[in-house]
Amino acid sequence: MRRRRVNRVATISMHTSPLDQPGTGDAGGMNVYIVESARRLAQLGVEVEIFTRATARDLPPVAELAPGVLVRHLTAGPYEELDRADMPGQLCAFLSGVLRTEAMYDPGRYDVIHSHYWLSGQVGWLAKERWGVPLVHTMHTMAKVKNQLLAAGDRPEPQARVLGEQQVVEIADRLVANTDDEAGELMELYGAQEDRVAVVNPGVNLTVFQPASQGAARRRLGLPQDARVLLFVGRIQPLKAPDVLLRAASRMLIEDPSLREHLVVACVGGPSGNGLARPSHLTELAAELGISDVVRLVPPAPQDELADWYRAADVTVVPSYSESFGLVALESQACGTPVAAAAVGGLRTAVRDGVSGVLVDGHDPHEWARTLRRFVTSPRWRADLSEGARRHAAAFGWQATASHLMEVYSGAVAHLHSVPVASCGVSYGAS
């Protein structure tokens, strides 16, 4: 099948803006993925227009994120952050803004739609039908997977989301999975057709996230040079399990009280999702465990500062219950800092067990304490992992991600034009 040139992509990210700071609210790895892949696509000569919901009245209708990349802010609901549970009620308003934008131009403005997360997929579904272009969709997270791996006290994803995801899987021309594991979950849990699923690994910005002096990073962050730093980076919510790190640190101090004068447990991020119900949970838990003196809670940091946190750490801890990939793990390794991660989802790809870090089965604080203790007491072993971490991360670059996405886009366009296009006759009823 002859590939067709893709000139302009409509990227849909309804519930979170690529301009938001990752690590708080709904902004996380997906935001990084959209920004970095869009920049690299633009460098390949593809124009990218990102549609997102306006969360402030003073946001410009159109903002340039980078040369060749525009962010379009669409009015859909109140000018404030909305809980994702309230987002389906704004799907019609958001879709209307997407369709009005395309209608301002000559027909055929967009060659392909790439939607991110199921809400955006619902919008992409209808835009695809109206414009006659293929829909490429990336889940990032899946309700059925999350519901199989719930943290204690976490709320299951609603059936409406499960249904909405199923609809997107059935209508999308291509589904982009971050890893082979995710591709398998799409096929096993949602019945996705194998020939519609493409595996494209996310990347890491190897210019920003690269090895540098640990001592200099600690000076800039105000950390003692002789500290033993355990680092968590991400949104503070049950799914990401920062409490596992705190409980493991408490166990480490019980077993070795002399460690207290050197231990620093740093959590960089802000409350998000179900974590918004208890924004002071980590502060309260640290007090309950008697480790408030070693815990540092740090607001979400821009990339340059975040790179310093990775460099300053002895190990980055990623104890999530579910991860479609785990960009934090990759960023840390690119800085030369090994990772202790839960053996779930995409983390099994992002971390090479025994080479760039350690994969831990389950979330037992005793087991995590045993693993983390080795990082702070075995410097030679940690140095070997540090070297492995750098080598492992070097194989992941956003340029490769963008190139592979281009292949997916052009393949979807070529396939659409090689078969008769019939109306699906679907009615709009987003869940």
30 is known to lie in a ligand binding site: yes
On whether 251 is known to bind a ligand per the annotation, the reply is no
Q: Based on C-alpha coordinates, what's the Rg of the chain?
A: 22
**Residue 277 among known ligand-binding residues:** no
Quote the crossing angle between the two packed helices 159-171 and 118-131, to the nearest 10°.
40
Which CA distances in Å does 85 have to 11, 66, 171? 22, 31, 23
Pairing of strands 62-66, 69-74: antiparallel
Q: Is 161 a known ligand-binding residue?
A: yes
Residue 84 labeled ligand binder:
yes
Q: Would the annotation count 40 as a binding residue?
A: no
Provide the 8-state DSSP code for 84: G
Query: SS3 breakdown of the chain: % helix, strand, coil, rounded to 5?
Result: 45, 15, 40
> Has 117 been labeled as part of a binding site?
yes
CA distances from 330 to 134, 225, 339, 397 (A): 31, 25, 9, 10
Is 141 one of the annotated binding-site residues?
Answer: yes
29 in a labelled binding site: yes
* Alpha helices by DSSP H, 23-90: 29-43
Consult the annotation and say whether 27 binds a ligand.
yes
179 is in an annotated binding site: no
Does the annotation list 337 as a binding residue?
A: yes
Helices in 1-81 by DSSP H: which ranges? 29-43
Determine if residue 302 is labeled as part of a ligand binding site. no
Q: Which residues pair with 339 in a beta bridge?
A: 316, 357
Query: Binding site annotation covers 26?
Result: yes
Q: 310: annotated binding-site residue?
A: yes
Q: Are 331 and 306 in contact (CB under 8 A)?
A: yes
Q: Which residues define the annotated binding site?
A: 15, 21-22, 26-31, 84, 117, 141, 161, 235, 240, 310-311, 313, 323, 331, 337
Q: Which residues define the annotated binding site for 1D-myo-inositol 3-phosphate?
A: 15, 26-31, 84, 117, 141, 161
Q: Which residues define the annotated binding site for UDP-N-acetyl-alpha-D-glucosamine?
A: 21-22, 29, 235, 240, 323, 331
Q: Which residues define the annotated binding site for Mg(2+)?
A: 310-311, 313, 337
